[in-house]
């Protein structure tokens, strides 16, 4: 181990002692190793840890179900009928929206399909969807199926965004240039706010403005962005967005998804949609009339009543975000990733390439590392045996995400030390 990493441990311990968010770590359940000690969990980009309050909140609803049955829909401080509505303010704050512009419902890909019904309106002249070549497969499957549904061929109906030759990530200038050049053929720009492989955070405000100047509708998949980086969906004028809640939002495996629809679309009756009774005007929802009358705002895209147990777990996490505040979380996140990159610089030359952008504004918690001159899978397995939880993406990427709500600087130092030790000299 290098002298640099030995001396860095003292700095890591000092930063932990000065950490204004340190107390939040104790409010999460920490996975343990075989020896009973906490694992170094650096996989929040895949599944966030369980807030300790989640069990209490879920069990409270189980108790109400047992004691009250159907009556719990309308009784108590948080009746099931409107339970999801109590999350709107905190969720809106995290994504930079107004409460009426967000709703917690379904799962990410279901929500993506529902909003594509409304916002992908292809014509003979303008039918393409601009998306990342390396988008998450579920997004690719959804987009291909929507293009086919409208009678077009996905091979010609997609415009793929890819980095320049030799680059790992796309530049904002290239995205804007592509949109400006091809905009008259693009019906929809649909990109990931943070790329799941590289960890790159896009300049969503600038991309949205460029796309709307040439008449494109703009949506974002925020699976890796929500709870990770500051968002201003309303101010950026984004048309719609979707996200999951089980990564940085810590709402549990398969947790309830989220959706944003800008308020300028709130009362539009010209937008087609797949309707369900929970999207109906609450004032007449239980009148069970045959005609559908959408309630205003994002909630008008709901289909069914909320999954209460999943929503209760989500409530536990959103309370922590509201208490910590995104500005403080972002400050710590930037410092955690900066220190990780600094300490990884001790790796032997030519053994490790950082894929994620160096600019803090262009990344969130996740740092993606390409292992060179070694078997990446074997390196990842060795990290796992040593008690580090991260993940491997073929062929040679290790993704690691120090999350400011529960990770420490000393954990980041330990990870850097272990990885550097595993790499060949």
Of the candidates 162, 183, 166, 158, the one whose C-alpha atom is nearest the C-alpha of residue 174 is 162
Looking at the chain, the whole-number percentage of residues with pLDDT higher than 70 is 99
Sign of CA dihedral 191, 101, 47, 358: positive
Residue 266 has pLDDT above 90, yes or no: no
DSSP class per residue in 197-221: TT-BBP-HHHHHHHHHHTT-EEEEE
Lowest-pLDDT choice from 81-85, 229-233, 267-271: 267-271
Per-residue confidence at 287, pLDDT binned at 50, 70, 90? confident
- Can you give the pLDDT at residue 3? 61
Residue 322 has pLDDT above 90, yes or no: yes
Cis peptide upstream of residue 292 (ω within 30 degrees of 0): no
- When the pLDDT of each residue in the chain is averaged and rounded to a whole number, the result is 96
- Can you give the pLDDT at residue 267? 83
Looking at the chain, the whole-number percentage of residues with pLDDT higher than 90 is 92
Residue 269 has pLDDT above 90, yes or no: no
The pLDDT tens digits for 380-415 are 999 999 999 999 999 999 999 999 999 999 999 999
The pLDDT tens digits for 242-251 are 999 999 999 9
Residue 1 has pLDDT above 60, yes or no: no
- Can you give the pLDDT at residue 375? 94
Per-residue confidence at 4, pLDDT binned at 50, 70, 90? low
What is the rounded CA–CA span in Å between residue 74 and residue 69? 11
301 in the Ramachandran plot: left (φ > 0), alpha (ψ -120 to 50) or beta?
alpha
Q: What angle do CA 236, 240, 243 make, to 5 degrees?
A: 105
The pLDDT tens digits for 366-383 are 999 999 989 999 999 999
What is the mean predicted confidence (pLDDT) over 292-315? 95
What is the mean predicted confidence (pLDDT) over 163-171? 93
Burial class (CB in 10 A: 0-12, 13-18, 19+), 207: buried
What is the mean predicted confidence (pLDDT) over 118-143? 95
Residue 143 has pLDDT above 80, yes or no: yes
Tokens of 72: 């719990």
Residue 6 has pLDDT above 90, yes or no: no
The pLDDT tens digits for 69-120 are 999 999 999 999 999 999 999 999 999 999 999 999 999 999 999 999 999 9
Domains and CATH numbers, the chain: 3-30+325-422 (3.90.1150.10), 59-322 (3.40.640.10)
Across 31-150, where does the E strand assignment appear? Answer: 40-41, 102-104, 128-132
DSSP class per residue in 219-265: EEE-TTTTTTS---HHHHT-SEEEE-SSSTT---TT---EEEE-GGG
Q: Count CB-CB contacts under 10 A for residue 120.
A: 21
- Can you give the pLDDT at residue 425? 84
Residue 31 has pLDDT above 60, yes or no: yes
């Amino acid at each position: 181990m290098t002298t640099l990493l030995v001396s860095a441990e003292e700095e890591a311990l000092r930063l932990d002692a000065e950490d204004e968010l340190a107390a939040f770590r104790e409010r999460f359940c920490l996975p343990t190793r075989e020896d009973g000690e906490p694992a170094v969990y650096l996989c929040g980009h895949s599944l966030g840890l369980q807030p300790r309050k989640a069990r209490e909140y879920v069990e409270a609803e189980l108790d109400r179900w047992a004691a009250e049955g159907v009556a719990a829909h309308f009784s108590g401080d948080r009746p099931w009928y409107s339970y999801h509505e109590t999350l709107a303010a905190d969720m809106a704050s995290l994504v930079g929206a107004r409460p009426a512009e967000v709703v917690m419902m379904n799962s990410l890909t279901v929500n993506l399909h529902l909003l594509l019904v409304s916002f992908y309106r292809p014509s003979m002249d303008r039918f393409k969807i601009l998306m990342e070549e390396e988008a998450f497969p579920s997004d690719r499957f959804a987009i291909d199926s929507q293009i086919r549904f409208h009678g077009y061929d996905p091979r010609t109906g997609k415009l793929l965004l890819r980095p320049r030759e030799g680059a790992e990530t796309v530049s904002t200038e290239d995205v804007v240039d592509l949109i400006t050049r091809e905009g008259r053929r693009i019906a929809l720009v649909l990109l990931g706010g943070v790329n799941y492989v590289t960890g790159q955070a896009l300049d969503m405000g600038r991309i949205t403005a460029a796309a709307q100047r040439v008449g494109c509708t703009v949506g974002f998949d925020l699976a890796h962005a929500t709870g990770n980086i500051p968002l201003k969906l309303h101010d950026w004028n984004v048309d719609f967005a979707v996200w999951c809640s089980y990564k940085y939002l810590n709402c549990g495996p398969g947790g309830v998804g989220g959706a944003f629809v800008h308020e300028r679309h709130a009362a539009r009756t010209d937008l087609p949609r797949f309707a369900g009774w929970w999207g109906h005007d609450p004032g007449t929802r239980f009148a069970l009339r045959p005609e559908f009358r959408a309630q205003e705002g994002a909630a008008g895209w709901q289909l069914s009543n909320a999954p209460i147990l999943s929503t209760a777990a989500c409530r536990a996490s959103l309370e922590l975000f509201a208490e910590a505040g995104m500005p403080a979380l972002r400050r710590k996140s930037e410092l955690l990733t900066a220190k990780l990159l600094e300490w990884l610089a001790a790796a032997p030359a030519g053994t490790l390439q950082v894929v994620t952008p160096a600019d803090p504004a262009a990344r969130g918690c996740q740092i993606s590392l390409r292992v060179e001159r070694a078997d990446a899978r074997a390196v990842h397995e060795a990290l796992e045996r040593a008690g580090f939880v991260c993940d491997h993406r073929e062929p040679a990427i290790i993704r690691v995400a120090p999350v400011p709500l529960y990770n420490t600087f000393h954990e980041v130092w330990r990870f850097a030390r272990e990885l550097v030790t595993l790499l060949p000299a």
